Amino acid sequence: MTEAAALPGQPRGGVLSGPATDRAVNVLAPNASAMTLDGTNTWIVAEPDSPLAVVIDPGPLDDAHLSRVVETAEKAGKRVALTLLTHGHPDHAEGAARFAELTRTHVRALDPALRLGDEGLAAGDVITTGGLEMRVVPTPGHTADSLCFHLPADRAVLTGDTVLGRGTTVVAHPDGRLGDYLDSLRRLRSLTVDDGVHTVLPGHGPVLEDAQGAVEFYLAHRAHRLAQVETAVENGHTEASDVVAHVYADVDRSLWPAAELSVRAQLEYLREHGLI
């Protein structure tokens, strides 16, 4: 879900698959593409001395990958007891129902259509499976149902597609809205300033070890792109596709369809605020 190439924030070298913090382990899904970077990061999160684990974003419907997630947990002496989703895009959620069958777990998500079981997820919820403390942080913008998970004991946040380990994310218009996304980035910045979060465990790409730097970069990048779109419109580029060609000329053309979603969200934002 990326639209740019490089991101400051001290990413760890190479593709991270394996332990990332004391409580989080990544199992990389084999679905690499221009949109998913190296593939979807499926996170196994558990207290070190607990026999129970939580899995976040099982990923695509790929039995080999889903089985590998279960095996990774079992090798660490853990049983998967709960499945969570950061949002409903297929590269994160398509395998959730099958994974729930394999693990006999419920699936919790913000979108009721993605849930398996009675319980959803909402702002302020705290996941306590196996003694874990993981707080639900609403972060709409990439999609309306996007969530992040704050892991205080590791001073980390699992960000799904809201912040990536490399590049910047798409605001997936019309479901995603730029105003919501900017608010969500500010919410994440507050976690870095007020709650000491320093590690980003993203849905794609390597772990970032300067969470505040990454979020500040995202905010600056959005402001820069928004100014470019506004200028493009002032210069007569009123169609979203024309704006993409003008503003995103530095981006690989294979990503222009995704960039157009962000441009449509930017145009909507500018109109709502009376700027164009």
Averaged pLDDT, 259-266: 95
pTM exceeding 0.85: yes
Q: pLDDT value at position 16?
A: 75
Assess if residue 169 is contained within a domain: yes
Does residue 5 have a pLDDT over 50?
A: no
Assess if residue 229 is contained within a domain: no
| Among 146, 128, 148, CA closest to 137 | 148
Q: Residue 252: count other Cβ atoms within 10 Å of its Cβ.
A: 13
* Strands of 199-202's sheet in order across: 126-127, 134-138, 147-151, 156-160, 199-202
What's the CATH code of the domain at 152? 3.60.15.10
Q: How many domains does the structure of the chain reveal?
A: 1
Instruction: Summarize pLDDT for 47-105 with one digit per residue, the tens.
Output: 999 999 999 999 999 999 999 999 999 999 999 999 999 999 999 999 999 999 999 99
Instruction: Summarize pLDDT for 111-129 with one digit per residue, the tens.
Output: 999 999 989 999 999 999 9
Q: pLDDT value at position 65?
A: 98
Assess if residue 227 is contained within a domain: no
| Among 137, 198, 204, CA closest to 164 | 204
Does residue 146 have a pLDDT over 80?
A: yes
Query: Residue 73 belongs to what domain range?
Result: 18-210
**Residues 261 and 171: beta-carbon distance below 8 Å:** yes
Percent of the chain with pLDDT over 70: 95
Q: pLDDT value at position 251?
A: 86
Assess if residue 179 is contained within a domain: yes
Q: pLDDT value at position 118?
A: 87
Rounded mean pLDDT of the chain? 94
Assess if residue 228 is contained within a domain: no
